[in-house]
Copies of this chain bind each other. A is one copy, B any other.
Amino acid sequence: MSAILYLLPNLISQSIENSGIPEYNYQVIRKLKHFIVESRKPVNHLLKLAGVKTPFEGINFYEYNEHSNENEIEGIIIPLLKGEDMGLVSDAGYPAIADPGEKIILAAHHHHIRVVPLSGPSSILLALTASGLNAEQFVFHGYLPVKPHQRKLFLQKIENESFKSGYTQIFMDTPYRNQAVFKELIAILKPETWLCVAMELFGNTEKINTLPVKEWKKLSFQPEKKNVVFLLNAGKSSQSS
């Protein structure tokens, strides 16, 4: 009667050549009858890659996302409480990283249900490792403030923090604002600050580059309206290289 909540990372691009999903995850997926999902479509794709036959007969899906109410959680995890394993899958990457899945996980801990995380692609971590910036100490800020003035103050604040602490600063924005954000970054940041732009990881147009802001200014680069992770570091630990 001891059920497991499996945390299943989802694809971060539609590339089939490199899904970034270990074979073990597919084995687990094929055994599960209950999936808590952020939305259906990206999870259908993962199940098909795992070899689960459509129309997914006998498999139950439970939606939990930003529009959900915390009161729904106890109803969603009933299978776990009855002793049946469940999988938690978000639209892309790791569940609970930049989506509300953490509330499901905390509820599982509260009920002493075993939580088993499986490995897979995370654009944050892939961008960090590929950036060449300090990855021994870092901060992930999630999405940038929407209002331009607040965003500017925020970027200056985290640049200053990275200068003092050496911690790499990681953040994202919605794809349609990437070009505006990039323009702001190279206008606002100090010339010597390192900036990494990691674009569409695992996709056909994957592009990852780390340069001081003064070098970025010389290029005619503009990020596409795709998933981008930005990283910056004005501290010693990266400049010493």
Interface set of A (CB-CB < 8 Å, partner B): 7, 17-24, 70, 94-99, 102-109, 115-122, 124-142, 167, 201-202, 206, 208-211, 238, 240-241
Contact = CB atoms under 8 A, between A and B. Distances in A.
A117 B139 contact: no
A222 B63 CA distance: 37
A109 B24 contact: no
Contact of A95 (B70, B98, B129, B206): B129
Interface of A is mostly: mixed
A113 B24 CA distance: 32
This chain's copy number in the assembly = 2
Contacts of A202: 119
Nearest to A124: B125
Given A102-B136, A103-B132, 6 more contacts: A20-B22, A97-B135, A102-B131, A106-B238, A117-B130, A119-B120
B241 A107 contact: yes
A122 B104 CA distance: 22
A18 B7 contact: no
A131 B103 CA distance: 10
Contact of A24 (B18, B129, B167): B18
B136 A98 contact: yes
A72 to B, nearest CB: 13
Contacts of A124: 125
A96 B129 contact: yes
B103 A241 contact: yes
Given A98-B136, A102-B133, A133-B106, A206 B142 contact: no
